[in-house]
Structure 1
Amino acid sequence: MRIPSYYFWPSGFFLFTMPIPLVLNFFFLLGWAWNRSWLVIIPVLVLVFTWTYYERGLSLGFGGNSSEATAGNLPTEVKLDVLSYNVRIFNTYAHLRDKEYTNSRNMIKWVAENPADVFCLQEFYNEPHSSVYNSVQKIVKKYGKHYFISNTLINRANGQFGMAIISKYPILNKGTIKFEKLTQNHAMFADLKIKNDTVRVYNFHLQSMSIEEQDIIKTYQEQDLFGKDLRNIVRRLKNGFIKRSYQVNTLYDHLKESPYPVIVCGDLNDVPYSYTYQKLNRKLNNAHTAAGWGIGSTYNGILPLLRIDNQFFSPDLEVSNFTVHRDVTFSDHFPLTATYKIKN
């Protein structure tokens, strides 16, 4: 977990499959306890020494206070509601959208009408002259919000690809953090003036896993364990593990120098047992672990139980509520919301 994949890339595969031994250990515990075998001490000891791993994969909400301190009864001057959402360029590509653009319209409308104070949007898209994809007008300008958009590409229709931080509070400072060259995979930050305090919000998108669901299905159906398709999947996963290790180091080096408390949102494209997760969790707390419930999977696809989107926060803040909106299915990611407050 502490060894970056650019030093030893097989560690990425081991950590990716970590849930399997954890689940097996739990079943051994139940089985030996049922049979009253002295061997039950083995899975009990494993459970004790690996509890932090279990906690990352299955949150029981003990660290937060979501049932008592919700957004409705927190003092207005200290609360901060944050939405993090990979909007998949609002499904602008032909193979993603429907004929009437209904899904795209509904996604933009859902984001625009969300009551959060701060939006961190990955794979953001804005096409100023489009009646459908003029997202800056519909989400930002219509409601008089402050915003910072890091554009990575502009197409022939003047459509702008990138990421966005949108805020009800003034932005005092902002910047972009490149991972080698500026692509969709980068990070950005904005310093928000919130009453008498300043909070730095990061938005990031790390290297994709670079595999398609159909590739996995095809490999499984053909039952070719060492075929070309499987080797390609392994190669792509390996490259992703290595690139994300470098990228999260760049992000970490920047945020650890922040003069303000930080909230870090984004698409990690990695599991909670990974080096990338551990790197951020070294200095920051995870909102799902602190105040969420259950597995908290954020990927909307056929690959089950993947929690690859996260919100982290510094110890100067408290999280009182965390929700994965699994009923919002416009994108291949589910949106996340959390409520934070600044400690006295």
Structure 2
Amino acid sequence: MKGLKFGSKIIFVINSLVAFLLLISYILPYIPPKSFATLSVLSLGVPLLILLNSLFFIYWLLRVKKQLLLSLVVLMLGWNYINSMYKFSASTDIKDDDNFSVMSYNVRLFNRFDWLPKKKVKEEILAFIQKERPDILCLQEYRTGDPIDLEGYNNFNARPTQGIKPGQTIFSKFPIINSGSLEFPNTYNNAIFVDIVRRQDTIRVYTFHLQSSGIETDVEKLKQETSSHLFKQVGSTFKAQQDQVDLFLAHKDKTKYKTIITGDFNNTAYSYIYRKVIGDEFKDTFEEAGNGFGRTYDFKFFPMRIDFILADKAFTVNGFKTYDVLLSDHYPIKTTLTLP
């Protein structure tokens, strides 16, 4: 730090800390939350750490200082993280007669408790779905007690189904030949699946809603939370998610069909949870054909992508879109796929 003024030295110390935290975050996908829950919480802050390191790099670049190398090297080491956070290439939208679309959307109980200052949120969500008409529609935080009807669709768990939790439902234009639920213990969350027939292919589609941390998105309410309580709360959530993912993977491994996984992970693409689900079999449709930040959650501090559509590598991803539709605390996402 020779040659730096006192103020610049302080900035470089902060820069060093931020760069170190981002570097540590690169190993988080390989550390089970049950082994180190506190450290796993850092995965939520990766987008912020990337943005801060980018700002530090620009700061030193404009001052023509060699200190720019610190953040530059750390960012380059995590290039895959940057690519997962922001897609620099334009979104593809390849037209193909074999295309079919899959949409995932956490509808937040159709605004049952008036989180949004709108009176007809359910009607607006329904109008949006009817306009887009995806071939397969996966909804989370769905109310079976306040169902929707979609003409031309088959469905599973769109109305109360005995023995199955009401939070998730799947609509399909294609015939559903099998369906079921994986109930996560000690929670309202679960995973459901359908086997659909499209032409000569049978495809398994999952949707799930993993354990939520319950962190406030309102800035003033969040300020009232102590850091120790937040770390404990999120760490406990990630441990529960690990159990839920283990159950899900054991169930998924029993199917012989090409599979699509959708849902609200309540975790980021930098987490152990995401790495375990995507494994070596699947690809992230946003990373294949998305554009921009691809944020799916209305978090005020930085863009959060916690909703995913993962497709078996046998599928070709021909398009991906994140809709700027604020009718929930999540944004709907849709991908276009083909199966050669």
TM-score, length of structure 1 as denominator length: 0.80
Q: Does 1:115 align with 2:115?
A: no
Give 1:42 deviation, angstroms: 4.5
Give 1:147 deviation, angstroms: 1.0
Is the 8 Å Cα contact of residues 144 and 158 (structure 2) preserved in structure 1? no
Structure 1 residues 257 and 33: alpha-carbon distance in aligned structure 2, compared to 1, 3 A threshold: farther
Give 1:301 deviation, angstroms: 4.8
> 2:154 matched to which residue of 1?
146
Structure 1 residues 91 and 43: alpha-carbon distance in aligned structure 2, compared to 1, 3 A threshold: closer
> 1:74 matched to which residue of 2?
96
Give 1:212 deviation, angstroms: 2.3
Q: Pick from 180, 199, 210: which aligns with 2:185?
A: 180
- Segments of 5+ residues of structure 1 without an aligned counterpart are 128-132, 155-159, 223-227
Structure 1 residues 43 and 196: alpha-carbon distance in aligned structure 2, compared to 1, 3 A threshold: same
Matched AA of 2:298: N
Report % sequence identity. 28
Structure 1 residues 119 and 49: alpha-carbon distance in aligned structure 2, compared to 1, 3 A threshold: same
Structure 1 residues 202 and 41: alpha-carbon distance in aligned structure 2, compared to 1, 3 A threshold: same
Structure 1 residues 262 and 44: alpha-carbon distance in aligned structure 2, compared to 1, 3 A threshold: same
* More moved, 7-16 vs 301-310: 301-310
> 2:313 matched to which residue of 1?
315
Q: Does 1:275 align with 2:272?
A: yes
TM-score, length of structure 2 as denominator length: 0.81
> 2:51 matched to which residue of 1?
23
State the distance in 2 between where 1:233 and 1:80 align: 41
State the distance in 2 between where 1:233 and 1:109 align: 37
Q: Does 1:10 align with 2:38?
A: yes
Is the 8 Å Cα contact of residues 152 and 162 (structure 1) preserved in structure 2? no
Structure 1 residues 42 and 198: alpha-carbon distance in aligned structure 2, compared to 1, 3 A threshold: same
**SS of 2:331's equivalent?**
coil
- C-alpha distance after superposition, 1:144-181 (max 9, x if no partner): 32111177899xxxxx8321111000112212112225
- C-alpha distance after superposition, 1:6-61 (max 9, x if no partner): 11101222222223443343344445555555555544443332111111111224
- C-alpha distance after superposition, 1:47-87 (max 9, x if no partner): 3321111111112247xx714x0xxx311xx2110110011
Give 1:287 deviation, angstroms: 1.0
- C-alpha distance after superposition, 1:76-115 (max 9, x if no partner): xx2110110011121233x34768x422222223224431
Q: Pick from 241, 244, 262: which aligns with 1:244?
A: 241
Structure 1 residues 158-307: aligned runs within 5 Å = 161-181=166-186, 183-214=187-218, 216-218=219-221, 220=223, 229-283=226-280, 284-307=282-305
**SS of 2:157's equivalent?**
strand
> 1:106 matched to which residue of 2?
124
- C-alpha distance after superposition, 1:215-238 (max 9, x if no partner): x52453x6xxxxx64443333212
**SS of 2:88's equivalent?**
coil
Structure 1 residues 209 and 61: alpha-carbon distance in aligned structure 2, compared to 1, 3 A threshold: farther
> 2:19 matched to which residue of 1?
none
State the distance in 2 between where 1:24 and 1:112 align: 40
Structure 1 residues 197 and 61: alpha-carbon distance in aligned structure 2, compared to 1, 3 A threshold: farther
State the distance in 2 between where 1:294 and 1:250 align: 33
Is the 8 Å Cα contact of residues 100 and 135 (structure 2) preserved in structure 1? yes
Is the 8 Å Cα contact of residues 144 and 157 (structure 2) preserved in structure 1? no
**SS of 2:191's equivalent?**
strand
Q: Tell me how many residue pairs correspond in the alignment.
A: 309
**SS of 1:161's equivalent?**
coil
The two structures, once aligned, show a CA RMSD in angstroms of 2.7
**SS of 1:272's equivalent?**
coil
**SS of 2:276's equivalent?**
helix
Please identify which structure carries the higher strand content: 1
> 2:144 matched to which residue of 1?
126
**SS of 2:255's equivalent?**
coil
**SS of 1:313's equivalent?**
strand
Structure 1 residues 26 and 219: alpha-carbon distance in aligned structure 2, compared to 1, 3 A threshold: closer
